[in-house]
Structure 1
Amino acid sequence: MKHPVDVHVGKRIRHRRWMVGMTQQQLAERVGIKFQQIQKYETGMNRVSASRLWDISEALEVPVSFFFEGIEHAQNQKEGVSVPADILSDKEALELVRSYYAIPENQRRRLFDLARVLSDAA
């Protein structure tokens, strides 16, 4: 059975990897392991050792603590408490955010204003 903390850490690895636009293969090469192991970490099937988490944090350029942010949600899941899903763990939402910030600032502001008007109208 997957431990909620392992699942949480795996999601954070995947989240950061997506944020920097890195593939599982690229991360695996930087860490010195097979991409299948990255897959197992990201799904929570395998636990990430402390030294491996250190290597991953170096490759993804974040502190180790990044992988434990929001851990109280994982604890609540273990205890059976319903918690809302992390919107940025959704690949489509993450791609939308990445695309949004690729838009020039003046156009991005107009798009933001349009989205606000449309959401108020709904």
Structure 2
Amino acid sequence: MTREAESVDVLVGKVMRELRDSAGLTQAQLGAVMKISAAQVQKYEFGANRLSAQRLFELARYFGVSVEDFYRYVEPTACDKGGAPTKAHFYQTDEGRKLAADYCNLPPAYQQAVQAMISTLKTQARKA
């Protein structure tokens, strides 16, 4: 396991701990919800053990947050070859989340129009 992966586990665990604390739950209470021991909750919270995708999804649903919220302290570092921010970085920004939410609230015909507009802009940008 790399140092970077370990630090991400610690940061995800930090959010888990914050969510648990803000809900007023003990590790034992959250463990009962997750059907695991309080000791396992502690290991997740301190990054000693990595949360599976399934557990992360279940926790997000339980606390009423998105899975992405668990990565709020992770600094995006990877960029694609063109130097643009990665999709993950975009989704972590307020603008990215707002754009995604606004798009999802559009009627399907408008969503298709937005997709066509973006496709046209992308083609024009490649030619420039």
Shorter chain as denominator, the TM-score bin is 0.5 to 0.7
Matched, 1:59 2:45: no
* Aligned 1:14-29 pairs, distance under 5 A: 14-29=17-32
Identity %: 42
Residues 96-117 of structure 1, C-alpha deviations (whole Å, 9 max, x = no match): xxxxxxxxxxxxxxxxxxxxxx
Number of positions where the alignment pairs a residue of Structure 1 with one of Structure 2: 74
RMSD (Å), alpha carbons: 1.8
Residues 34-88 of structure 1, C-alpha deviations (whole Å, 9 max, x = no match): 1111000001000011001112222222211110012108x7xxxxxxxxxxxxx
When the two structures are superposed, what TM-score results if normalisation uses the length of structure 1? 0.55
When the two structures are superposed, what TM-score results if normalisation uses the length of structure 2? 0.53
Larger Rg computed on CA atoms: 2
Matched, 1:46 2:49: yes
Gaps spanning 5+ residues in structure 1: where? 76-122
Q: Which has the higher contact order (CA 8 A, sep 6+)?
A: 1
